[in-house]
């Protein structure tokens, strides 16, 4: 966590006591926490402010988790595409070596018709 981020959140210019604002910044940095609710508590916020911050933390957490799930899904799709292309390449290679579509279907579990599309260059 960077000092500039904490300073922007604390906004010392809005405090009546700049020294208290600086102490809050230092305490937040020392805590190592990235939770807004913790920051509000450290800065002296009341229970309603802390509860509101905790709810915002949950909302951000849900959004972050959704983003992480999307990233994992996209990585899995890319891995699947790469594995499919590798399999198709191997099937085409074996077919060029003379292995019949029937035998390739037996080995791979892919239908003979689909093997025909793969070796014909169509997915």
Exposed, middle or buried: residue 91 (CB in 10 Å: 0-12, 13-18, 19+)? Answer: buried
* pLDDT, position 65: 66
* pLDDT, position 34: 83
For residue 39, count other CB atoms closer than 10 A to its CB: 23
Residue 116 CA to residue 108 CA, distance in Å, equals: 13
Q: At what angle do helices 101-108 and 112-119 cross, to 10 degrees?
A: 110
Per-residue pLDDT of the chain (123 residues; tens, 9 = 90+): 688 888 888 888 888 998 999 999 999 999 998 888 888 999 998 888 888 888 887 777 656 667 777 888 999 999 999 999 999 999 999 999 999 999 999 999 999 999 999 999 665
User: Are 22 and 5 a contacting pair, CB within 8 Å?
Assistant: no
């Amino acid at each position: 966590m960077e000092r500039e981020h904490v300073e922007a959140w604390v906004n010392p210019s809005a405090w009546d006591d700049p020294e208290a604002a600086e102490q809050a910044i230092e305490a937040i940095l020392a805590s190592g926490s990235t939770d807004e609710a913790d920051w509000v508590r450290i800065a002296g916020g009341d229970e309603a402010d802390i509860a509101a911050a905790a709810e915002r933390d949950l909302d951000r957490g849900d959004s972050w988790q959704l983003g992480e799930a999307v990233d994992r899904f996209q990585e899995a799709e890319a891995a699947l595409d790469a594995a499919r292309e590798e399999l198709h390449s191997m099937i085409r290679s074996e077919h060029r070596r003379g292995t019949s579509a029937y035998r390739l279907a037996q080995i791979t579990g892919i239908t003979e018709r689909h093997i025909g599309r793969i070796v014909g260059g169509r997915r």
